[in-house]
Each structure stands twice: as structure tokens, then as C-alpha cells.
Structure 1
Amino acid sequence: MKANQLKRKVFNDAIDLLTGDAPEDGVQMVPVDKIEPFHEHPFKLYQGERLDDMVESVKEHGILTPVIIRKTASGYEMLAGHNRQNAARIAGIKEIPAIVKDNLTDEEAWVYVVETNVIQRSFNDLSVTERIAVLATRYDKVCGTKKREEIMEELHRLSGTGGHHVHQQAKSRELIGKEYGMTGRNIARYVRCNQLIPAFKEMLDDGSLTMVAGVEVSFLFPEEQTLLHRVMEKSCIKLKKDTARRLRAAAGTITEESIQIILGLDKPMSEIKKPVSVKLPAKVYHRYFANVATKDVQGILEEALDLYFERRGA
């Protein structure tokens, strides 16, 4: 289908949905269990009170906004609506309304997956790994600008948020940084961390791995990262920036023995430096960390100190 024809179809489908006059082939009732999650879906499902509220709403009102899916050889794959599907399943609903997309490339599918989550939730509310997915997709995985804008216009109409947010976005990290209020350098860090294995991405989320150290580790081959994570987990080691840099320098030659040497695990305990506690004045702590989870404080302090000493040329 030509680009202008697809654009007209997307626009017409969106108008039909908003006016309640969607044709039968525009919105279909699809069995919940026939829809598989999007492969490598990077966003976490709602839990706790947020999930409970959604389940209660679904029980009372049903699924008001259709999910967006695409056909696969075995059924369907979810693009937008993982949480609605999960809530419907819990509520005992067997079928949900869905917009079925045909002939989408993986790059186009990724636009639906990522952008619907950004529309529904503030970027700042996303976890570190979810931000990585968004920024990496914006920077690397999205299709051509014109096609992306067509999809974005459709999604904003379906969500009722209007199209004012849609504009041309080059893949330049500086331009993406302006959109999210981040420096190009930070954008580069997030995008680079998309090369981490899932275990290290989880460590970014729980604060046990800093973004700076994560960037260095991302240059290791996946099998080397897996070996490193296994050694760290077994030895309860927290990875520092300088140690991560030494690991990166050894990329391609990493073995369990070399990891133990770089981490200092081959030294007597008396030679291994112990953590040092530093106290912050209460007013300083509450000024900067009043609304920050305790597990995130250390990572923020380490990044701030890294930036401080980098600026001083240390």
C-alpha cells in the first residue's frame, strides 16, 4: 500500500473509532488467549493497586479502548494493550476489542509498542530499562520519519491527546535529548545500555549497577556479560566505574579467571578495600532525595561524583 493511501486509511480508522462508527473490519472481538505478548516487550505490567483498579474498571465497564494487535502465523501479537489484556484475563473476560494491523514491519510494530506507552505514562515514571527501550527505539529502531509521524498521529487520535506532540524527530541524540530534557551524553548512555543482557538491565532498575558502569559493561559480548554477572552474583560484588573500564578493555578475551583478577577476587581479603560510610546532613538529604527511593540514592550520588570529577579533569 502506498504511503498516502495508508495515511488516509489510518486517519479514517481513527475517526471511525472516535465517533463509534468503526466498520467490522476496523475493530474486531478477539479471544484474549489468542494474543501473544510482543516479542522482547520492554515494559513491565501494572502491579498492585494500579492493576487492581484496572481490573475493577474492566469488570464494570469492559475494555473501552481497543487494543492494537498484528496478525502472526499462530494468531496475533500484542502491540498496544498488554495491561488491558492482563486485566481482562484476570476479570474473566474472554474476548476484547482490537484493531488488527496487517503487513507491519518489525520497525513499524516497535513504534506502536513504544509510543503508546509514552503516551499513557510520563517518561519520568518509566523505569531505567523502560527508558532505555524508549530512547533506543527512538534513536535506532524506528522506521522512516514520515511513516513514524503517520503512526504517531493515529495513536494520539486514539488516545484523545491530539497531535500537537507529533513533529519531525531526527535520530540525532541531541534532538532526542531536547525532547526529554536530557543531554546528548545521557541519551548516548541510555542507548548504549540497550546492549546489556537482561540481568544487568534489572540491576540498573534496582540500583545495584550504575549507568556509567553499565555503559562500560555493555561493550562486552553477551556471553562475557553472562559470565561476569554470574561471578558478581556469586561473590556479592558491586561493580565500580574504574573496574568496569578495565573489564571493557579486556572485551573479547574475558574468562572467569580474568574477571576474578580484575575484580580483585584473587587477592587476600586484607588487600580488598572495604566500603566507607559517608554521612549527609539531613537538610541536604531531604533537599535532593526526599522523593527518591532509598535504593536509587547511591547510584545518583555516584553519577553526580563521576560528572563532578570529569569536569575537573580528574
Structure 2
Amino acid sequence: MSGRKPPRLGMGLSALLGDAGTSAAQSPRSLAVTALEPGPFQPRGPIAQSELADLAASIRAHGVLQPILVRPKPGNPGQYQIIGGERRWRASQLAQLHDVPVIVRDLDDRTAMAAALVENLQRQDLNAVEEALGYQRLIGEFGLTQDALGQSVGKSRSHVANTLRLLGLPMPVRDMLSDGRLTAGHARALLTAPDPERLAALVVAKGLNVRQAEALANQAPRPGPSHRARDTDSEAVVRDLMTRLGIKVELRRSGRGGRLTLHYADLDQLDGLLRLLMPDA
């Protein structure tokens, strides 16, 4: 876990990236497809072969219309790491192109990570879970507010907040969202349900639309009325914390006290969480 303190970017990522995250910052040049390789900061999951086949067909007909954003590979002259456009690069290989248009930017690791996330987020190349994880990494790494982050990627603060809340869903539900069995609308409808995993399975099995999923979540059995006011307060606290932190949060009462549990998926997520909780450490 890193001990360095990230810069505070009150004006959003543009203060850090400058022109690095925009293809218009520099004229494209051609590089051999063999000189490129996937970068270590790719926020997307595995790319479906069917998706690549469709893009390859388009590239055969029209060429690569959007240059690939790359940086020189550290310690390996003549090789380049892809920051944005891995899907175009892979499809170009399927289309048997020898060269592809690229924008070369000399970026350090942290700036390359931010540029990769911003490029994918702005191009809407990510599913909802990948998008939420991207927001979480940017907030944790750079200390951005949700409002500043939204401005940086062209989204509203409420969109960023609602997307981050999806990380509070159980992992099986997040998997359904990642592979397209559920939409983000379905997932948001299940966020406050008492058993989102069971309800998600019903939504998928019955092919319910978002309105039907909302109705199903509202009809799910909930605690009795004697505990309702207290439970409503607890749910509001949990929702607020999940929105602010972008992780799963559990709150369990016990008498006058209770237990607050914060769940993290890996050490990078823990590192980002600690940066938020202890900004001056």
C-alpha cells in the first residue's frame, strides 16, 4: 500500500492531464500493430470476440477512424503501451492491418492510469460495473469530489453517485450487471431490497423490465413496523456511505451501539478508501 499523498485536483482531471487525454492534442502518426501492446491500466474486462469481429469488419471497410492513444513503453525503446483503444488495436489485427494511427503521449504511470479511465469513460466503452470501478479509482487516487469527477468525464454528479452505489451490490449481482443480464436500471432498483441477490435471479429468470424489477423490490418482505423508523435511518446512512465511498457498507445494530463494516475488494481499493478516510495521513 502506497504511502504517498495524491495531489488535490480542485478543477478536476484536466489540471493533471492537460491535453494528454484528448486525441486532438497532437497529430496522429502510424505505427506497426506489432509495436503496440496492452497497457497495464486498462479498465475494461475481457473483450467479446463477437464485438471484435463486428469492429474488424468496419475497420476493413473504413479503416481506423479514431487514433489509438499510446505511450512509449518504459525501458523498451520502440515499443508502446496502449492507454486508450485496445479494442481498436485488437480488431485491426483481425482485419490484418499492418499499421494503425496513434497519438503518442509521454505519460507517467499515474497520469496514464487516469487518461485510460477518462478515455474509456468518455467513449462509453465500459459496462456499469467497470464504470463504477473507474470512478472509484479516480476518486481514491486523485482525491476528486464526485462533482469534479463528473465534470472531468462529462457526467452529472448524480450519475457518478448512482453509479458508485452499484458497488454496494453483492458480487453475484454485479456479475449479472457486468455480463449484461441486468441493466444499470435493474441494479439500482435492487440496491435497497432486503435480498438483492435472490431478486436479481428472479428478474433474470422472468425477463422483467426495470419497472417490474422496481415493483418486485418494493413488494419484498421487510422488517416489522416497530423497527421501521430505526431501519429507515440505518438504510439512509448505509446508502450515503456507499455513495460517498463507492464500496459495500453494512450497519448492524446491537442495543444502543452496533457495528459498521466496510468491504473492500483488493488492496488498491483499500488504499483508495484510506486516502478518503485519512486525507492528511
Q: TM-score, normalised by structure 1?
A: 0.45
Compare the two structures and name the one with the higher strand fraction: 2
Computing the radius of gyration from Cα coordinates, the structure with the larger value is: 1
